[in-house]
Structure 1
């Protein structure tokens, strides 16, 4: 039986990373960098937790999470990459894609939502599209979160049994269970076509989600351009008058919380 990293140990290891993420955000703001991080992987792979821990310490005005729904009729008639371009970062911004244009090489291919010709066109165009982004100065990071089938089954069952997590499930999630091998084959074809010198893939073991998050975050921080952006030296001024008390009507606690 495997032993996963405990929460207390994780929090201790995450604390210095959290501070480094804040420093990285200062660097991005100071240099006007544009950062794109793509998170891909199987259902229940751990994308949400990784995105939350990367974005959590950063000002949400600077760091945006993009999780696009199924394309509408108009978007389906556009150039495939068009709706993603609208969400790319401006200077000083970080954009985290919770799934991305790689939907076409994964779920759309495996579940038959895209034709073989559309998938083939995507695999040919994606490297060129990403080269345009990188050549224009965007810092592009692509992560694939790896999860064994046994772990995927365990997490799907936990979501189904937990009312607070059931919103994460969709009919596609259950339909995709029998296509584990098909998703593996689709991923390998995607890697062969889109793992390039200018936009390489990084595969991270997420069978232990906490350990996977630490590994991903450390890799991300190490690959950012070196730049010293010290925290501002803020002098907290004293009030010229005595602090005033707030006046408000106190609400009575509802019954279950009364002592």
Structure 2
């Protein structure tokens, strides 16, 4: 496995104003990226994996909040149905893969088998071993078809995960984030660590490498992931015709506001 260089100072506090300025700059580049992807007909899959509470959702929101959902699609699949359990393992993920000019972001992916399914006993040891054996071959094939596959692992510390879980328990606006496997994952920290190590050893390949991002600082990990994502995808500014807003035509004009009288309006309390 290639050695990963760690840069940046995770201990220095990033001011909100500085964060928002840099985020806006990066999001503007994401808008250029989406135009280029559409123009070139690229097919891109981005995977976000990591422990529960690692900040995957917030990072994905930072990527997608200023771009078109018709080009950037987020896929977060629930537990498989009884029917899906009888399919080929990757089958239900592949049905969400992008067509030309699309980017699909998986909030957890087929790597569930290397993590939560294995640790929590939702798959057998044989299924886990077979997945680690076959997955690099399947990803190599996907990349050879022209698909751009980018894999991020968000690494949160024990202390920060504990703090985030406690916040979810106490804050009613965050309690929906607690899943049935979140609390058991705290008990099995080292089981998840070993599963992570096995996954990286088997699937961090030249064709589909893993990029590890430390995520204790939510602001920094969002900026770092977006910046690195932009560096991995070749894109260029697509020329656009100058847009001129047309004037409202008065042909067949009428008092269109008067016709709304008597309809049900949302109460204006604010």
| TM-score for the superposition, normalised by structure 1 | 0.93
1:70 maps to 79
Q: Is the 8 A contact 2:32 2:238 kept in 1?
A: yes
1:23 maps to 32
The superposition leaves residues 151-205 of structure 1 with CA deviations (integer Å, 9 ceiling, x where unpaired) of 0000011111111111110221001101111111111110010011110000001
Q: Is the 8 A contact 1:23 1:230 kept in 2?
A: no
Q: Is the 8 A contact 2:114 2:199 kept in 1?
A: yes
Q: Is the 8 A contact 1:146 1:205 kept in 2?
A: yes
- Among residues 45, 53, 59, which one is paired with 1:44 in the alignment? 53
2:257 maps to 246
CA distance in 1, matches of 2:156, 2:255: 55
CA distance in 2, matches of 1:57, 1:183: 34
Correspondence list, 1:1-259, <5 A = 2=11, 4-241=13-250, 246-247=257-258, 248-249=260-261, 251-253=266-268
Shift in Å at residue 216 of structure 1?
Answer: 0.4
Shift in Å at residue 78 of structure 1?
Answer: 1.1
2:4 maps to none
Q: Is the 8 A contact 1:23 1:231 kept in 2?
A: no
Q: Is the 8 A contact 2:37 2:235 kept in 1?
A: no
In 2 relative to 1, CA 59–192 (structure 1 residues): closer, same or farther, beyond 3 Å?
same
CA distance in 2, matches of 1:162, 1:7: 22
Q: Is the 8 A contact 1:141 1:199 kept in 2?
A: yes
In 2 relative to 1, CA 243–119 (structure 1 residues): closer, same or farther, beyond 3 Å?
farther
In 2 relative to 1, CA 215–245 (structure 1 residues): closer, same or farther, beyond 3 Å?
same
CA distance in 2, matches of 1:142, 1:243: 55
In 2 relative to 1, CA 251–145 (structure 1 residues): closer, same or farther, beyond 3 Å?
closer
CA distance in 1, matches of 2:254, 2:204: 59
Shift in Å at residue 31 of structure 1?
Answer: 0.4
Q: Is the 8 A contact 1:110 1:186 kept in 2?
A: yes
Shift in Å at residue 9 of structure 1?
Answer: 2.2
CA distance in 2, matches of 1:140, 1:10: 27
Show structure 1 runs of 4+ deviating over 6 A. 242-245
SS of residue in 2 equivalent to 1:73? coil
CA distance in 2, matches of 1:202, 1:39: 10
Q: Which runs of 5+ in 2 are unaligned?
A: 1-9
The superposition leaves residues 116-139 of structure 1 with CA deviations (integer Å, 9 ceiling, x where unpaired) of 100000001111111111111111
CA distance in 2, matches of 1:202, 1:14: 20
Shift in Å at residue 58 of structure 1?
Answer: 1.2
Root-mean-square deviation over aligned CA pairs: 1.9
Shift in Å at residue 243 of structure 1?
Answer: 10
